Structure 1
Amino acid sequence: MDRLPIQVRVIGSGAAHAAGPSGSTTDRESHMPRHRTSIHALLFCITAVTSCSAEVDPASTDSDEETRPHGQQGPDAASLERRAAFIATVQRQASSAYNVSLNTAGARAGVSALNPAHGLVSEFTSAGVAVTRESSVSAGRITMKLARYGCEGELVPLDVAAEPRGSNNRVELRHLARSAGLSVTEWYLNGPLGLEQGFSLDSPPPCRRDGEGKVELEIALGGDLSPELSEDGQSVALLDEAGAAVLRYADLVVQDARGSVLPAEIKLSDASLSIVVDDTGAAYPLEVDPLIATEQHVLYASNAASNDGFGWSVAISGNTAVVGSLDAEAAYVFVRNGASWTQAAVLTPSDGLPGDRFGASVAIDGDTIVVGTFSYPANHGAAYVFARSGNVWQEQQKLVAQDNPRRDNWFGYAVAISGSTIMVGAPYDSGLTHDGPGAAYIFARSGAAWAQQAKLVPSTDTFDQGSTVALDGDTAATGGECDDGVDFNAGWDRPCQVHVFARAGSTWSEQAVLYPPIGATPHYRFGASLSLSAETLAVGTTVYDERGPDRTAAVVFARSEGAWTQQAMLYRNEVDTPDYGGWGRSASVAVSGDRLILGGSHDGGQGPRIFARTGGVWTPQSKVESSTWNTWDVRVALSGDTLIAGTWADGVRGEGAGAAHVFQVKEVLPAHLVGARAFVEHAADTPFVLDTPDTNRFATPSSINWTNFTGTTQGASLFALSLLHEDPTLTTSILRGWWGSTSPTSTSLYGHVVAGNHFKRISKIGDILPGDLLVINYTDGGSGHTAIVDAYPTAIAPAIEPVVSGTTQYSLRVIDSTSTAHGCATDPSTGDTRWVPADPTKPCRGGSTDGGAGRGTMRLYAISPGQANAGDLTGYSWSLTPSSAYFPQTGARPHAIGRLVR
């Protein structure tokens, strides 16, 4: 039979197919035959890195037609194709800083390469490659050598490779197995996404020519890191002596010339790693293309220099991060593609002057970035707004205070943004020294223009308010650089305060004044950092005795019915650390939903601390550890499950050059999602089998027996019953006070989400987290539908009918209770667990729904990237089945997504 060319891609932490030495595709292809199959195996990128009535889809054809929801042969194949194209472009455009150097000294000639983006030093000889991660504390080292090639159980040893050849950012080694007539070209590309490793296989091994089987490449491993295979066989973590993941070998994808995804997996033995591919129907040559990656990602400025202070300020929103570099007077934008972060832009002001301190503060929300600057010694400043169009960031507007823009108030010292509102702190307002009360300014956007809406001035005797600011929706908070216990300097011994303001319409008024708690330790630096998330405010605090022990802490306040009360006092370290009366300490906080990160200054060598809230109780989860960073002063920001930590004192790129570290934080699940998952996973119903009697039913009255996981539910009641069961701090009387019922209908919940009554409404696809509610209002009859988001939304490509112009479709896995399944069950990852096929051999040709609680997949539509209001939700479809009806927000069945807040 004729064989078609294949591409096999394994993409990890951001890299894959790349071009040849000169950066052009033509040069790359000159090394290879015209037709080829490529295995882009592992992007091994060494960097530093460390969620009712019967609900019916009237247009659904689930029971009438057998379909494949995504129109592809493997999960996320289209997104992996786009990812490979992205990687190829980035690696092709590598600057001369990534070029290799020839080494002629010593007994064995070789080639070396420095990777400035990831801190890698790579050494190539005929014996293989050794990659060392640069580090200010310790280094991890991995060696790799292509040892054997062939079929499973019939591997052929490869002869010693020829001496490596290097040109521009590419290195090649040629391997032969003369006895078997095989040749393999091993190649490397050094680029911004890491060190990309590849293998070009000229022909199939003899054992593969005459029948079924799988092709295997065996790579011998060495160095001081231990490999650990993931449960799904798709990635390998490389661990240091302490068991921490330092590097990662991951994201295996195999693809042929038609774009079909082929089965592939990774296997481990004692001292080797194998890539195994089912190449049935493939045409040779094959190309294996790995990249080296880490569990932890470190961001450096592309033009890093000593004393830049990169990481002085950090902010993150979805897949975009911005890092301020105080003394370089710039802000750097990084974009995540898959698991890789790449510098996308360097922001500077159009009218900047030396000494402006541009980058002293940064904030981001979606496609808008705000960068604050305060001039020294002139003591005036501004805030610059940058907007993204496509992949380009442009300065949109310079913000200054209306009341004397040249006033010595340090306007721009702190900034925050939430949607169409920007907040700018001016801590020296009303004074040249630390004796003014300080203020904060609010700007609102209309179209593309920003205008000052209000000036927030504290009502009490205080100073330096606006040194720290926080903003979320219609709530704002200001804090000051204060000390309530030491007469260190005139004006510094006033009580510390945090002022909270609320907006009604376009009018802002002070809602509360918050003070540090009264405890055994009398002194606080309270308000040195602030973070707001819905009804939760975290206040960074240093707790100390004069000239005695210190502790960094976060004081957490929660709002209920407009009143703020202290909910918790959280400490970063379990013991006091000696210092000088708190002056050597600072605290940095970030809160999002039920997760809080507490960073700050060096505290016994500890990294940031993670806390999680269940009900109203906060408990410590873990510390964010890294062997590569300087913990002197860690600035933190949080978006979903992604943490960015700025370390401006980091010295890897030069003394004080700075760095920023990106981590994936363990998911903290809301109580109702925990309960709903437990019920679905333990319910007596067997997927795809109609139970008699049915022990998990869609019916009323609603009730769950949590002992044996049986019961009757509808969409909204599954949410309420799970919430009450898992959160011991909630009672039926509390829910009745919130929503007028212990189990409100979906229509009622829709109204509460829209009104913001104990819900924060989510309007952008990138902000959806597991545990959010998708609530549909059936204005054409019925009581609506409620579904609990079970996983992050995933883009669908190619789009499924019906296609709506200007929108991108997303697959959304949900848990709900319904009498109508969300599509059939050909693919367990997207199918509905309640679907019962009439004929198991044709699972989507006829069947029925075993109604009740279960998992299914809905389809969301959002405005496509590059357009105005990109990411805004526009509508939904009941399932992934083609022709499943599209319901726009302006139609008879609008939806709202809400996040429960207390």
Structure 2
Amino acid sequence: MTSLTVLLTVVSTSIMRPMNCDEHTIYEIVEVLVAPNGPSERQFGKNVELIGEWFAVATDSGEDGSLQPGSVHLYEHLEFGWRSGKLLHAPERTWPDEFGSDMDSSHHRLLVGAPGDSEVDWDSGAAWLYELRDDWSLISALQPKQVESGARFGDAVALDGAWAAIGAPRSDGLGIASGAVYIFDGRSGPWTEVQRIEAPDGASGDFFGDSVALSGRWLAVGSWGDDDRGEKSGSVWIFHHERGKWRPVQKIVPQELESRDRFGCSLELSGDWLIVGSSGWNTNQGAIYTFNLDGATWLKNRRLHSRAGTSQEWLGYSLSVKKGMMVSGVPGRQGEDIMDGGVDLFKLEAGTWRWIQRVTPSRKDWHQPHQFGWSVTTDGTRILVGRIDDADGQAEPGRAWLLENRARAPSVSALISDD
């Protein structure tokens, strides 16, 4: 029997509000999901996903609360509130599989990565596809025909209709941790592997496939370890589906990249927009690059970074883009004395992405660093934010936060810079 979960309403929220010209919607934290099993789920919120009227929140804990295979809590939005509806987990798994390390959804399907799965070989990885019919049920277990030990297949997942792209960033096909992406096709019924993709210029330490995004006939693959502009400067490869194959058509390496920018650590495809995170830019302050599709070429539009930001904030570490709304975590943002984190929100207006606000949580309920913004997701209206707790001190229950429109205020361009 499913139980009704009562969600807490947050009344203390720190918001950096815009201060002049055009009106913009202001988002506030309105509800908090607290780990059902208390401190044993300190990583509850390590990944989040919005699927229609459902929330998905990943945790390291298994069904018994132990740090073993991992699980995903599902919450359903009803007229009178949110209900705990389902607990997803990989069947017959006891090893620390990291189930829920990445998630993506399309229509009423949810794809969950488990890069630590060792059923085939140690840390070879797996992914699991679920579908909502009358209830959530497992419809396919996705594993490559051939995958080596330590490949971490499932570290990144992307789902669009009947296509799935799953990254194995530590695959050794072109050198140690050069990386690979596997394509699965579900158009004809059973989901089957149809292609293994490597970077045309792949090399050791590229981590190709550590981020992936799918939209229609376009596939974007991040390779934050690429060294074209210096060690770990990063790159993104673009593939297009032509004549039955996903074919490389463009490599994106902005001229201004420098060592350890980690360009490609996160990315999103939304319509004619490609959004790429570069969390290491400017001593880990972080930046976001936007690209627009012009014919068959993705052209740089802007580089966004906060003028009020400081080093180690990691803007661009996590990204979600939908219906003209962009959300990026700044999980490294330092509070008064500990790492609090935050999220920056952007809106697409007249062909330009504009910063509208930064949201940070109240700290009254915890004392450990919690890196709010470690994971983010939006459906274009609502925003769900997750966190992790990797502190050495006393364990505290994990959380995920729901943000919604609550007020309107004028905007400012002075707090966000672009070039």
Query: What TM-score results when the alignment is normalised by the length of structure 1?
Result: 0.38
- Please tell me the residue identity of whatever aligns with 1:502: H
Percentage identity across aligned positions? 23
In structure 2, distance between residues paired with 1:635 and 1:302? 19
Change (3 A) 1:650 1:438: closer
Please name the residue that 2:200 is paired with.
459
After TM superposition, the structure 1 = structure 2 runs for residues 858-873 of structure 1, keeping only pairs within 5 Å, are none
The structure 1 residue matched to 2:89, chosen from 343, 348, 352, is: 348
The structure 2 residue matched to 1:577, chosen from 305, 310, 314, is: 310
The structure 2 residue matched to 1:421, chosen from 163, 174, 179, is: 163
Shift of 1:512: 1.3
In structure 2, distance between residues paired with 1:428 and 1:509? 21
* Cα RMSD for the two superposed structures: 3.3
Mapped contact 1:484–1:494 kept (Cα < 8 A):
yes
In structure 1, distance between residues paired with 2:373 and 2:307? 18
Please name the residue that 1:298 is paired with.
32
The structure 1 residue matched to 2:295, chosen from 561, 567, 582, is: 561
- Please tell me the residue identity of whatever aligns with 1:559: L
- Please tell me the residue identity of whatever aligns with 1:554: I
Mapped contact 2:225–2:233 kept (Cα < 8 A):
yes
- Please tell me the residue identity of whatever aligns with 1:383: A
Please name the residue that 1:471 is paired with.
214
- Please tell me the residue identity of whatever aligns with 1:388: L
Task: Note if 1:118 corresponds to 2:7.
Answer: yes
Give per-residue Cα distances to partners, 1:461-496, cap 9 Å, x unaligned: 342111111112221111134275999xxxxx2541
In structure 2, distance between residues paired with 1:358 and 1:613? 33
In structure 2, distance between residues paired with 1:658 and 1:478? 30
Change (3 A) 1:665 1:484: farther
Change (3 A) 1:324 1:405: same
The structure 2 residue matched to 1:535, chosen from 272, 275, 278, is: 272
Q: Which moved more, 1:524-533 or 1:472-481?
A: 472-481
What secondary structure is seen at the aligned counterpart in 1 of 2:361? coil
Mapped contact 1:327–1:357 kept (Cα < 8 A):
no
Task: Note if 1:444 corresponds to 2:178.
Answer: no
After TM superposition, the structure 1 = structure 2 runs for residues 382-393 of structure 1, keeping only pairs within 5 Å, are 382-390=126-134, 392-393=135-136
More strand by share: 2
Q: 5+ unaligned residues in a row in structure 1: which ranges?
A: 1-88, 95-115, 120-132, 134-139, 141-238, 245-293, 488-492, 669-902
Shift of 1:117: 4.4
What secondary structure is seen at the aligned counterpart in 2 of 1:305? helix
Change (3 A) 1:458 1:338: farther
Shift of 1:567: 0.8
Change (3 A) 1:650 1:320: farther
Mapped contact 1:310–1:657 kept (Cα < 8 A):
yes
Mapped contact 1:498–1:527 kept (Cα < 8 A):
yes
Change (3 A) 1:665 1:366: farther
Please name the residue that 1:601 is paired with.
331
In structure 2, distance between residues paired with 1:635 and 1:241? 18
Please name the residue that 1:616 is paired with.
351
In structure 2, distance between residues paired with 1:427 and 1:241? 37
- Please tell me the residue identity of whatever aligns with 2:31: H
Instruction: Report how many residues are paired.
Output: 373
Shift of 1:650: 9.1
In structure 1, distance between residues paired with 2:224 and 2:379? 25
Change (3 A) 1:466 1:326: farther
What secondary structure is seen at the aligned counterpart in 1 of 2:46? strand
- Please tell me the residue identity of whatever aligns with 2:265: A
Shift of 1:375: 2.1
Give per-residue Cα distances to partners, 1:69-93, cap 9 Å, x unaligned: xxxxxxxxxxxxxxxxxxxx97xx5
Give per-residue Cα distances to partners, 1:412-464, cap 9 Å, x unaligned: 111111111111111112269x8332111111113542111222211123421
In structure 2, distance between residues paired with 1:552 and 1:340? 36
Mapped contact 1:600–1:635 kept (Cα < 8 A):
no
Task: Note if 1:367 corresponds to 2:102.
Answer: no
Change (3 A) 1:243 1:376: closer
Larger Rg: 1
What secondary structure is seen at the aligned counterpart in 2 of 1:375? coil
Shift of 1:645: 0.9
In structure 2, distance between residues paired with 1:410 and 1:475? 23
In structure 1, distance between residues paired with 2:216 and 2:144? 21
Change (3 A) 1:242 1:641: closer
More helix by share: 1
The structure 1 residue matched to 2:361, chosen from 626, 644, 662, is: 626
Shift of 1:564: 0.5
What secondary structure is seen at the aligned counterpart in 2 of 1:601? coil
Change (3 A) 1:523 1:349: closer
Please name the residue that 2:55 is paired with.
321
In structure 2, distance between residues paired with 1:631 and 1:406? 32
Mapped contact 1:635–1:647 kept (Cα < 8 A):
yes
- Please tell me the residue identity of whatever aligns with 1:468: S
Mapped contact 2:110–2:131 kept (Cα < 8 A):
yes
In structure 1, distance between residues paired with 2:41 and 2:229? 31
Shift of 1:634: 2.3
Query: What TM-score results when the alignment is normalised by the length of structure 2?
Result: 0.78
Change (3 A) 1:659 1:448: farther
